[in-house]
Homo-oligomer: A and B are copies of this chain.
């Protein structure tokens, strides 16, 4: 088991992003986006794409991207998680772009990826149909028709940032098993119904299709492996966001504990608070190790599904616990609307169940472990 140390480039990227978001994504911007209709800041979006080229970072150069590695992109997600950046970056990059790259459909890649990479086109993935479990491959919606030209009717739930998306990649049933269909959000019969969400920095919607025209991608293939790969890679991106967010809330709590006085001394001098924060540090560094392990697996490719689930389980639980601890350490002020603590907490619990609950991921790991126990 190995873990690759961050490259100098990644360290430089991290430093650059931290300054960029500190300047371009102050708390007011976050609050404005979180309180807006769509939870999206178009100006920031433009700067991220045009000034920094973040959207296409891990897209090959011949498809309009930067040709960097997925671990490079993970640095972006970690910093965005840290800064709690609102908007469809996760949906369009971690999900849609990843899914397109995993599908054997060069035409679709050439049609869609340059626009995604340039930040000009927002694409999201519509997969889930079961209300209480996030499973992208257990789908019933049919894509009727033959070849690339299809029609779909049905409903999808928990579609991220659909309201601001231009294109939907809809996971459907086909004659080959699972398929991915491209549907314009403006196409006939497509109705996007926003869902109320706990986390208003990442919106979700129900989408109803009524005989909507769709283009089936890689129409001769079963897309199951591609959808699975998207889930794994997006899971690692989510883990990166979670690690970034967890570090941030620990910093907030620690800084507050150093200055807030009770009983004549900083509350951070009380062992109860010290140990609480120390335990969070242990958890967060464990989560960061899991992320590093999964990041390495995105490159080597070996054991990615298990590594992604290891990272998802740990990072989900750790971020939620750290965000809750942050509220608790802040005392009364921590659960006011005016304080940022609740925004991170809401992101944390929402992310915890986004691509499968920790328990679902452990069930995957168990299946692997019991099939082939690792011997020492």
> B-contacting residues of A (Cβ < 8 Å)?
270-272, 275
Contacts and interface: CB of A to CB of B under 8 A. Distances in A.
5 contacts: A270-B271, A271-B271, A271-B272, A272-B272, A272-B275
A280 to B, nearest CB: 15
Nearest to A269: B271
Nearest to A275: B272
Contacts of A275: 272
- The secondary structure that dominates the A interface is helix
Contacts of A272: 271-272, 275
A218 to B, nearest CB: 45
Nearest to A271: B271
A272 B270 CA distance: 9
Nearest to A272: B271
A279 to B, nearest CB: 11
A257 to B, nearest CB: 14
Contacts of A270: 271
Q: 5 closest pairs, A vs B, by CB? A: A271-B271, A271-B272, A272-B275, A270-B271, A272-B272
Nearest to A273: B271
A270 B270 CA distance: 9
A272 B277 CA distance: 13
A286 to B, nearest CB: 21
A272 B271 CA distance: 6
A71 B319 CA distance: 47
Contacts of A271: 270-272
A270 B272 CA distance: 9
A275 B270 CA distance: 11
A271 B271 CA distance: 5
A275 B279 CA distance: 15
Nearest to A270: B271
A271 B276 CA distance: 11
A265 to B, nearest CB: 12
A272 B275 CA distance: 8
A281 to B, nearest CB: 16
